[in-house]
Structure 1
Amino acid sequence: MGSTVFDSVLFRNMFGTAEMRAVFDDDALIARYLEAEVALAKAQARLGIVPAAAADAIAVAASSLKLDSEKLRRETEIVGYPILPLVHQLSEAAGEAGRYVHWGATTQDIMDTATVLQIRAALRIISRDLAELSAILAMLARKYRSTPMAGRTHLQQALPITFGYKVAIWLSSIERHIERVGQALPRVLVGEFSGAAGTLASVGEKGLEIQKLFCEELGLRQPSITWHVARDGIAEAVTLLGLITGSLGKIATDVMLMSATELGEVSEPFVSGRGASSTMPQKRNPISSELMLAAAKSVRQHVAAMLDGMIHDFERATGPWHLEWISLPESFLLTASSLANAKFMLSGLHLHEERMQENLHLTHGLIVAEAVMMAAAPKLGRQRAHDRVYEACRQSLDDGGDLVAILCAMPDVVEALGGPAAVHSRCDPMNYVGLAPQMVDRVLSRPARN
């Protein structure tokens, strides 16, 4: 049994996905180390620094390496890093060519590059899931473009909105994250080959050429200078995940609050037994939303750790680097889980439109007090219109009467609005959703959506 939620048989699929675990598991990590070592040998062979036959032999040895995992684990604990023990095994497997393995490199060159290769694979998953989630949200926004509901500020009913408008706000943040991922790739997907102190002294004058070809072999950008202790690219990747899970946490919070018995406006998809209570048979807890919110809170902590980990000492750090080993994979696992839960929950979200209508009328018309005030202001003046409608609202709150009936008993307000029928029209919440539907259309018509 695992000791954390990430490797627990019970919890791992609630706090990660099998696909994302496969990017960051030990086998994948070692494969990335070997990929970097092979790329280095090939790059150096292209420049005649190591024999081409040696580079070929190293590639063959890496692809067929029968790793002694227990020895690697034991030696990694002694050394503190896995590269030296891995290089020993790869060199031995490569035979005579083994003397050219890891030529001029330092441990962090290989580990950093492997990390970037993992990030590239992980961001492909994140990008795909964001695109799929965007499509789901677009469908919901379009379908419920004009479906009225109560808008709330400070947890109080404020003004009418539409559910499509709410969803379009969610969608707009997801689309910005899609843009952010694309914008971040050139800064994040950068290889690292710089040698012990980052100066490439170990390989002489051809160092920058080796570095260029090394990055080409892996499909990564060449750095302008060593980034052993300039960790902003790695930190940006995790910070981006913090932004993504933060937006998903906002969606989850809205859904959870709207799912509350007292509101009852939406429900997560029904799956027999999901969200059930051990003692209360009636319960149907919003489990997907709860997991999305937990992910947001957890990734936020990792963002803080990564920002702290940017503060390295001199040319090679004494500790901050190790924070990445913890925070990077966990952040990607949590983000993958949150996106998976969001896609499941939103693709099958149940909307209770009748309950939305009931809630719109819960305040006996007070939710449209602004509509009445603004309509009466041209005749009465803004301040007098505000004061008269305020009086009507206080009376409704004190006596429980409907705002429309109270306003109809105010001759100056009736006259300002143009008669009793106009008062009734102004007090209909469905007539005061503003430009919410048009705003939905603006989000859905963005070039990225066409």
Structure 2
Amino acid sequence: MPSTVFDSLLFRDMFGTEAMRAIFTDEALVGRYLEAEAALARAQAKIGAIPVEAGPAIDAASKHIAIDFDRLRHETEIVGYPILPLVHQLSEAAGDFGGFVHWGATTQDIMDTANVLQIRSALDIVDADIEALRGILVGLAKQYRDTPMAGRTHLQQALPCTFGYKCAVWLSSIDRHAERLSTLRDRVLFGEFSGAAGTLASIGRGGLEMQAAYCEELNLAQPPITWHVARDGIAEVVTFLGLVTGSLAKIATDVMLMMATEFGEVSEPFVPGRGASSTMPQKRNPISCELILAAAKSVRQQVATMLDGMIHDFERATGPWHLEWIAIPESFILTASALANARYMLDGLVVHEKRMRENLDLTSGLIVAEAVMMHAAPRLGRQHAHDIVYNACREAIEGGGKLADILKKNEEVSQALGGEEAIDAACDPTNYLGLCGEMVDRVVAGR
């Protein structure tokens, strides 16, 4: 039976998605190896490096071969890599042309290229999820553009903002990830065909042309030089996933805290039984947020692994490369989980506007103390206005009562603001939302 959450019948759809898992199955990986070998043979046949008939023959064999996975596993354990054992089976399947399989290549050429093919497909899924998430957040930002709520710093009420503003802040980070992804592909999606030490010595003259033809067959870019031990591109991919899941975890943290009983400002979508407790019938736990946070924490560990894995020795490494076999699939599968949960959670998010307003009034005006100070400052001077309002806030905190009522008793403030009605206006949180609306408009402009 499966032994990890990625394959578990119980947990696999909580810590991944079927579409992303499919990219990283053993069958899919071996399929990518075969795709790379077939592309190499086609390219070499076209330029006359191997018999013209060998290319189609090896290509056909790669598509129709029935892989003996038990044999492949056994031989891989002996060799330490799967390519030589796979070449044995593909060569047998190619018959008379089997001797031209893997011509001039080295194991890492095929494995690196296969991983890039997997990464390309996986990034397509991430891209689609990011675009869907952007659309959801745009809708929330627009819908709640002017919905007032308490802004908080250091877990304390600070100044009023709007829920649409909060959603637009979330959206801005996801927008930047979309930009990063659009440029990342150009730095990562390279084929690899360089031979044992990366010098193409096995091919010699015409090797770069062969490399170009090979990459063209796979619709991958030709690298300027061998990247066997220059792993910054692969490390960037996983680091990018760390950034994406980090932003999702920030959103999840906000939503999770806002779901707390004492806040009660939002709720995850309701599905009977979701987030239920085995003993407390009233519970409605933030399950999607919790899964996003778990995925993000796990991806962050893989980011560190990949940065460490960049340190390769000489022209072919003695072990750091193997870390990628662990980190790349797990990072993508976990990221897919985080994105799927974020899409589900935000698309059905229940926003409790009344509770937001109640919480905004919780401090009886203290949340707009800065507003009163700034209104009084032109007449009283900033520091003197600060001291007066500070003392009024302390009186409200220690003795209770509304800040506006306490300020009305202060003749200096009353004169500076222009009377009791002006004090009431200055103490209304909805009158001190700053440029929330305009900022939302800037983020969602054109969408």
- The equivalent of 2:102 in structure 1 is 102
- The equivalent of 2:215 in structure 1 is 215
Distance 1:348 1:432 in 2: 29
Q: Secondary structure at the match of 1:203?
A: coil
1:409 aligns with 2:402: no
Distance 1:57 1:47 in 2: 16
- The equivalent of 1:44 in structure 2 is 44
- The equivalent of 2:25 in structure 1 is 25
Structure 1 residue 46, shift from structure 2 partner? 1.5
1:325 aligns with 2:352: no
Q: Secondary structure at the match of 2:302?
A: helix
- The equivalent of 2:174 in structure 1 is 174
Distance 1:290 1:372 in 2: 40
Matches within 5 A, 1:436-447: 436-445=436-445
> What's the TM-score once normalised by structure 1's chain length?
0.99
- The equivalent of 2:431 in structure 1 is 431
Q: Deviation digits for residues 95-117 of structure 1, max 9, x if unmatched?
A: 01100000000000000000000
- The equivalent of 2:133 in structure 1 is 133
The total of aligned residue pairs comes to: 447
- The equivalent of 2:339 in structure 1 is 339
Structure 1 residue 52, shift from structure 2 partner? 1.7
- The equivalent of 1:58 in structure 2 is 58
Structure 1 residue 32, shift from structure 2 partner? 0.5
> What's the TM-score once normalised by structure 2's chain length?
0.99
Distance 1:398 1:444 in 2: 43
- Which amino acid in the other structure matches residue 21 of structure 2? R
- The equivalent of 1:299 in structure 2 is 299
Distance 1:25 1:309 in 2: 23
Q: Secondary structure at the match of 2:313?
A: coil
Q: Deviation digits for residues 166-222 of structure 1, max 9, x if unmatched?
A: 000000000000000011001010110000000000011111001001000001010
Distance 1:421 1:180 in 2: 50
Distance 1:75 1:142 in 2: 58
Q: Deviation digits for residues 110-142 of structure 1, max 9, x if unmatched?
A: 000000000000000000000000000000000
Structure 1 vs Structure 2: percent identity of aligned residues? Answer: 70
Structure 1 residue 309, shift from structure 2 partner? 0.2
- The equivalent of 2:84 in structure 1 is 84
Q: Secondary structure at the match of 1:184?
A: helix
- Which amino acid in the other structure matches residue 201 of structure 2? A
- The equivalent of 2:289 in structure 1 is 289
Unaligned 5+ runs, structure 1: none
- Which amino acid in the other structure matches residue 88 of structure 1? H
Q: Deviation digits for residues 389-415 of structure 1, max 9, x if unmatched?
A: 001000000101100000010011011
- The equivalent of 1:6 in structure 2 is 6
Distance 1:19 1:179 in 2: 23
- The equivalent of 1:374 in structure 2 is 374
Distance 2:2 2:64 in 1: 30
Distance 1:50 1:248 in 2: 50
- Which amino acid in the other structure matches residue 294 of structure 1? A
Q: Deviation digits for residues 376-400 of structure 1, max 9, x if unmatched?
A: 0000000010000001000000101
Structure 1 residue 420, shift from structure 2 partner? 0.6
- The equivalent of 2:243 in structure 1 is 243
- Which amino acid in the other structure matches residue 52 of structure 2? A
Aligned CA RMSD, in angstroms, stands at 0.6
- Which amino acid in the other structure matches residue 437 of structure 2? P
- The equivalent of 2:385 in structure 1 is 385
Distance 1:263 1:186 in 2: 45
- The equivalent of 2:280 in structure 1 is 280
- Which amino acid in the other structure matches residue 216 of structure 2? E
Distance 2:52 2:23 in 1: 31
Q: Secondary structure at the match of 1:149?
A: strand
Structure 1 residue 316, shift from structure 2 partner? 0.4
Structure 1 residue 424, shift from structure 2 partner? 0.2
Distance 1:129 1:305 in 2: 25
- Which amino acid in the other structure matches residue 222 of structure 1? Q
Distance 2:297 2:121 in 1: 24
- Which amino acid in the other structure matches residue 442 of structure 2? R
Structure 1 residue 253, shift from structure 2 partner? 0.1
Q: Secondary structure at the match of 1:416?
A: helix
Distance 2:327 2:48 in 1: 39
Distance 1:94 1:353 in 2: 67
Structure 1 residue 2, shift from structure 2 partner? 1.1
Distance 2:227 2:419 in 1: 73
Structure 1 residue 143, shift from structure 2 partner? 0.1
Structure 1 residue 51, shift from structure 2 partner? 1.3
Q: Secondary structure at the match of 2:161?
A: strand
Q: Secondary structure at the match of 2:149?
A: strand
- The equivalent of 1:145 in structure 2 is 145
Structure 1 residue 258, shift from structure 2 partner? 0.2
